[in-house]
Chain A
């Protein structure tokens, strides 16, 4: 036993030291530097090419022009309005879609009968392309917020639902038996074994759901909106201003990345127990 413990502790010291050493920090910094070489080179080349007149400004303006566009929207206050309305739509749709998926997915994953009853229907509905919903939702709910948020919720629902069902059905029978040895009730079994065991695939589902949420918000805002980043795309197209279009594409990219990072951080925090490559200390 003593040798076992010492061996382990020695291993721990070694990895902790590796992480804190200048070499470890250098390694991390190196990743960031390596990852940004290509984008920076491309940006500089783009800027130079635009300045040299190689790129037509009415098709592809220089990065500095796009940045200036974003700054001017920030100064006149319209940037905040567009970003916040789009974020609100995504957030509400995401919350509604995820909430519904948790409830339905838990029932379908847990009860065989519910799966046989509901799953074929959901699988069929899932294969409908997202844009096909737009006219129907507008007919049903008008052009206002409810139709947009419903569309996003539908988009978020399916990946979350599929992953929850897969997660619950994939729970190791051996762990469930541990719960049965201690005579846990079905409710306790769900709470103490099934849900924690299904958490990794639930979070995976949320991340791909969020990605689809961003896709669907563009669809919703393209169809008819008076504010939002998708609306900016339409305005840019109609006024022949590529800087507006690219600026809003850029903002979508940034927002999508930031919101995904938040989920990734939650994933990291709540799945520290996982024995995976990314968790190797």
Chain B
């Protein structure tokens, strides 16, 4: 449903960004994009979300629907709006006044917090609100840019489970940028490993295990070793060049 063809966006005389990215995403898939920092993975999401229009190549979605949801590393809630109004932010004017937000408030486990302001929320709760805001417009594709990297380990696991349970209910297609190998293995169906500057897809790892998975499962550990190995190759290659 989402096809990306020879996508390229570089900065600083082709020293940063990414190039030659080709992949397609099927409906309901969770795709992970893994890579060390500086390989252009966040830039890729900015291009896909439309925040960065200066790219080359082609992005096409089957339905021609450009309804995209995005979650950032920070919650990016509007501090002057209550949780309720933050969740409803992306809706049209009439819908904002309805109580459509209630479904999503319950979905992310924040029932009863609708009148609170962001300043009164913990990091995890703020990120839950951001999830609800991203989902309420029922996006075709949900783009997640390291959404849990600023959270503590426990909150992170809770929110990963929350994301999975939402996926089970709504079958939302997701594109998850992360630098956490365990997170990618726990959530994703396929993982693209980006390497280089500018970054290119270096390898694709399929995680053929039905979700929900068990953390620390033997198969996932094996895949993790495989991915680490792939990333190590990069290190060696860099060492050889010097």
Contacts A182-B89, A182-B137, A275-B119 given: A196-B50 contact, CB under 8 Å? no
Instruction: Collect the chain B residues with CB atoms within 8 Å of residue A272's CB.
Output: 117
Q: Nearest B residue to A9 by beta-carbon distance?
A: B112
A174 x B72 contact (CB < 8 A): yes
Interface hit among B73-81, B166-174, B186-194: B73-81
Q: Which residues of A contact B72 (CB under 8 A)?
A: 174, 177
Contact A174 B89 (CB under 8 A): no
Known: A193-B78, A273-B80, A275-B79. A181 touches B68 (CB 8 A): yes
Q: In this complex, what residue of A is CB-closest to B116?
A: A8
Q: Is there a chain B Cβ closer than 8 Å to A4's Cβ? A: yes
Which residues 146-171 of A have a CB within 8 angstroms of B? none
- Contact between B119 and A273, CB atoms less than 8 A apart: yes
Q: A1-B158, A181-B49 are in contact. Are A175 and B137 (CB under 8 A)?
A: no
Closest to B93 in A: A188
Q: Does B40 contact A (CB under 8 A)?
A: no
Interface residues of A in 191-215 (CB under 8 A from B): 192-193, 196-197, 199
Chain B CB within 8 A of A278 CB: no
Known A1-B109, A181-B68, A273-B117; contact A175-B76, beta-carbon cutoff 8 A: yes
A273 with B118, Cβ < 8 A, contacts A193-B78, A196-B78 known: yes
Tell me which of B80, B81, B122, B158 contacts A8 (CB under 8 A): B122
Q: DSSP majority for the A interface?
A: helix
B124 within 8 A of A: yes
Residue among B69, B79, B109, B137 facing the most chain A CB atoms (10 A cut-off): B79
Known contacts A8-B122, A275-B119; is-contact A180 B78 (Cβ 8 Å): no
Q: Is A226's beta carbon under 8 Å from chain B?
A: no
B51 at the interface (CB under 8 A from A): yes
Q: Which B residues from 96 to 123 make CB contacts under 8 A with A?
A: 109, 117-120, 122
Contact of B74 among A7, A174, A182, A197 (CB under 8 A): A174
A182, A199, A279 interface centre (most CB from chain B within 10 Å): A182
| B window 132-184: CB within 8 A of A | 137, 155, 158
User: Cβ of B90 < 8 Å from any Cβ of A?
Assistant: yes
The distance in angstroms between the C-alpha atoms of A197 and B76, with both chains bound, is 13
Number of interface residues, chain B, beta carbon within 8 A = 26
**Which of these, A1, A182, A197, contacts B90 with CB under 8 Å?**
A182
Interface pair A197/B50, CB less than 8 Å apart: no
Report if A199-B78 is in contact (Cβ < 8 Å); known contacts: A180-B51, A273-B117, A275-B119.
Answer: no
B89 touches A178 (CB 8 A): yes
The residue of chain A having its C-beta at the shortest distance from the C-beta of B119 within the complex is A275
Once A4-B122, A178-B89 are accepted as A-B contacts, the answer to whether A196 and B76 lie under 8 Å apart by CB is: no
Q: Which residue of B lies closest to A177 (CB)?
A: B51
Shortest distance between the CB of A23 and any CB in chain B (Å): 23
Q: In whole angstroms, how far apart are the Cα atoms of A67 and B146 in the complex?
A: 68
Q: How far is the CA of A196 from the CA of B78 in the complex (A)?
A: 9
| B44 contacts A by Cβ under 8 Å | no
CB distance from A12 to the nearest CB of B (A): 8
Name which residue of chain A comes closest to B74, CB basis: A174
* Shortest distance from the beta carbon of B232 to any chain A beta carbon, whole Å: 34
Taking the nearest CB of chain B, how far is it from the CB of A17, in angstroms? Answer: 17
Asked if A261 is at the interface of the complex by the 8 Å CB criterion, the answer is no
A160 and B69 alpha carbons, distance in the complex (Å): 37
Distance between Cα atoms of A192 and B88 in the complex (Å):
13
Q: How far is the CA of A142 from the CA of B128 in the complex (A)?
A: 63
Residues of A within 8 A of B120 (CB): 8
Minimal beta-carbon separation of B6 from chain A (angstroms): 25
The minimal Cβ–Cβ distance linking A41 to chain B, given in whole angstroms, is 40
Report yes or no: B124 in contact with A4, Cβ–Cβ below 8 A: yes
Determine the chain B residues whose CB is within 8 A of the CB of A274 once the complex forms.
79, 119
The residue in chain A whose Cβ has the minimal distance to the Cβ of B108 is A1
Closest Cβ–Cβ distance, residue A104 to chain B (whole Å): 24
Does any Cβ of A come within 8 Å of B231's Cβ? no
Alpha-carbon gap, A176 to B114, bound state (A): 23
Indicate if B39 sits at the interface (CB-CB under 8 A).
no
A-side contacts of B158, CB under 8 Å: 1
For residue B70, CB closer than 8 A to chain A, the reply is yes
- In Å, the complex CA distance between A174 and B75 comes to 10
Known A-B contacts: A175-B76, A177-B76, A197-B78. Give 4 more (CB < 8 A): A178-B78, A178-B89, A180-B51, A182-B137
Q: Which 8 A-B pairs have the closest CB atoms?
A: A275-B119, A182-B90, A273-B117, A273-B80, A196-B80, A181-B70, A1-B109, A178-B76
Q: Which residues of B contact A (CB under 8 A)?
A: 49-51, 68-70, 72, 74, 76, 78-81, 89-90, 109, 117-120, 122, 124-125, 137, 155, 158
